[in-house]
Amino acid sequence: MSPQAGWILQEEVVPRLRASIPRNVNQVGAEDPEELIQDAIVMAAKLMHTVECQGNTVTAGNIAYYTILHMKSGRRSYGTSTTDVCGISTQLNGSTRLSSLEEPAAVDGETGGELLAFHDVLSQDQDDPGMIAARKLDWQSLLARLTEREKAIIVAVLGGRTVSDVALVFKVSRSAMQQCKNRLVELIQEFMGMDILVEVRRLPGWRNDLNTTKEKLACRFERRN
């Protein structure tokens, strides 16, 4: 873009966009007027650059007019898709609608009429599939390095049994099996990392954010009442 075109954009096009967009362009989702104005300036700059490269001349009013039309139709500087479920055009034509996970979904009759939000209905406390697959691969690599006694201890612990039960199976003393268990703990920590016990109990980050938001809203409600 030439310096002259840049001056026209700054002095003549941008003021028109700032005056018109907050009143004429619908805000979708988390959009705000200042964000829409910034997006419109980018689109106007692209239009002026294209026109200048083609050797044509247009007025600042024409650039502002067509930029506003693009913005009203749902076009943005980062995309104009009408099939993307999160696209502005898709939402403006009514094909999709974004809903907050905090919106009420239903009333649970089994919990005394407690109001359920969308995240209560859709979410699970389990890790995402990628994390589960990664842990399985780690366990497979670890199990390949363990002895039969160490594998038996893991199976017993998962089944709710004690080291004494495993000692009876292998016909050794409980102290010997306890030493084997201690070595197993050290091996797991060395292989998985010292923070493995913290990691397996940690909730997903998005779940913590939702819980924090719910607690904040509950505290606010209590203060008002």
Distances from the Cα of 1 to the Cα of 5, 41, 83, angstroms: 6, 14, 32
Give the tens place of pLDDT for each residue, 26-75: 887 777 888 889 989 999 999 888 888 888 888 888 999 999 988 888 88
Q: What global pTM score does this model have? A: 0.44
CATH number, residue 168: 1.10.10
User: How many Cβ atoms sit within 10 Å of the Cβ of residue 187?
Assistant: 14
User: Over the chain, what is the mean pLDDT?
Assistant: 79
pLDDT at 16: 92
Percent of the chain with pLDDT over 90: 6
Residue 127 pLDDT level (bands cut at 50, 70, 90): low
- Residue 13 in contact with residue 64, Cβ under 8 Å? yes
Residue 221 has pLDDT above 60, yes or no: yes
Residue 174 has pLDDT above 70, yes or no: yes
- Evaluate whether residue 180 is within a structural domain: yes
Query: Do 33 and 80 belong to one domain?
Result: yes
List the structure tokens of 48: 């002026």
Query: Do 136 and 48 belong to one domain?
Result: no
Give the tens place of pLDDT for each residue, 43-52: 999 988 888 8
Helix (H) or strand (E) holding 217: helix 205-224
Please count the CA atoms within 13 angstroms of the CA of 182 that sit on its side-chain side: 6
Query: Do 73 and 49 belong to one domain?
Result: yes
- Evaluate whether residue 81 is within a structural domain: yes
Residue 111 has pLDDT above 70, yes or no: no
- Evaluate whether residue 149 is within a structural domain: yes
Residue 109 has pLDDT above 60, yes or no: no
